[in-house]
Structure 1
Amino acid sequence: MSAPAPRLPALPVTFRPTRTRIVLLTVGAVMCTVLITVTLLLERLSAPERVSFIFTALLFFGILALLSRPKVVADENGVTVVNLTRTRRLAWPEILRVNLRPGDPWVFLDLSDGTSLPVLGIQPGIARAHAISDARALRALAESRGTRPDAD
């Protein structure tokens, strides 16, 4: 590889799409506030209509908060991958390869059981350079702490 080897970050370290998270939570909070304010200001709405509008605003915010949840936490013992609805704990030896290929929406981990795990906590959407840097750092950690089958 022509890219310089990344320095290993101090553990524990958390990788998350910070800009995406800020955008989602800000839009969710603003939209929720606007919908609730308009609902309370409209005098023509009945109580059940107000409740349904407020419920819809809170549901909208909840969905955007769920979309902002993904992260990856690496520590001495392994990696915790938090995706939208699932959290998975992996020991370092379980991670064979960290992949972020051109066009991938997020990082994928190739695991020792033959499966691949999407890692939504590192995604090149808004901050591509930051995601590439995070993917390289996670790859360097996995290579230095895991057992590589080709290292014999």
Structure 2
Amino acid sequence: MSEERVEVRPRKVRRVAIPIAVALVLVFAVVATLLRNTPTGAVFSVSDQVAMGFLGVLLAGGVMLLTRPRLRADADGVEVRNIIGTQRYSWPLVQAVSFPDGAAWARLELPEDEYVPIMAIQAADGERAVTAMRRLRELRRAVGRHQGT
């Protein structure tokens, strides 16, 4: 069996999340800079300005978590990294790879009606998601044939 490997990351969410994260940092930096000069009579100190800038960085970091999902699959199994956490599943444990109608992303079907979302393969990516699903299913079939002999 040829040593095929499938690696997928979402594309459209990256195109949206990165500019939003940059905009958040810029907006909060401007607000932090202008915070001292308010006509409301409220008194803001340097620590308030720093906190406002830090808040922008935190929010941008939260948005950037959306770019984290990744799928890696090889002959040994599938590694799914979603927003929080990474899990590796061996092929014998995976009962199916599906993309339910109307779902935002694909999923691994596991025993006992459990499933794991694959946020790296998103419906928003259109044809790229279709290609990723085909490659993943082909790899699963190839591994199954190899293990069956």
What TM-score, normalized by structure 1, do the two folds share?
A: 0.80
Matched length: 141
Cα displacement string for residues 73-128 of structure 1 (whole angstroms, at most 9, x for unaligned residues): 11232111001111001112221211112201111111246421111111112x22
- Give the letter for the 1:17 counterpart: P
Determine the structure 1 residue equivalent to 2:83: 84
Larger radius of gyration: 2
Where structure 2 has 5 or more consecutive residues not aligned to the other structure, the ranges are 38-43
Equivalent residue of 1:39, what SS?
helix
Does the 8 Å contact 1:94/1:146 carry over to 2?
Answer: no
Q: 2:6 aligns with which of 6, 13, 32?
A: 13
Q: 2:136 matched to which residue of 1? A: 138
**Aligned-partner SS, 2:104:** coil
Deviations 1:22-42 (A, max 9, x none): 311221022212321342244
Q: 2:30 aligns with which of 17, 31, 37?
A: 37
For 1:40-79, list aligned pairs within 5 A. Answer: 40-44=33-37, 45-79=44-78
Secondary structure (helix, strand or coil) at the match of 1:120 reads strand
When normalised by structure 2's length, the TM-score is 0.81
In 1, the alpha carbon distance for the partners of 2:139 and 2:11 equals 21
Pairs within 5 Å for 1:18-29: 18-29=11-22
Structure 2: distance between partners of 1:69 and 1:42: 33
Aligned-partner Cα distance in 2 for 1:30–1:145: 45
User: Within 2, Cα distance between the matches of 1:89 and 1:135?
Assistant: 18
Q: Is the 8 A contact 1:78 1:89 kept in 2?
A: yes
User: SS of the counterpart of 2:71?
Assistant: strand
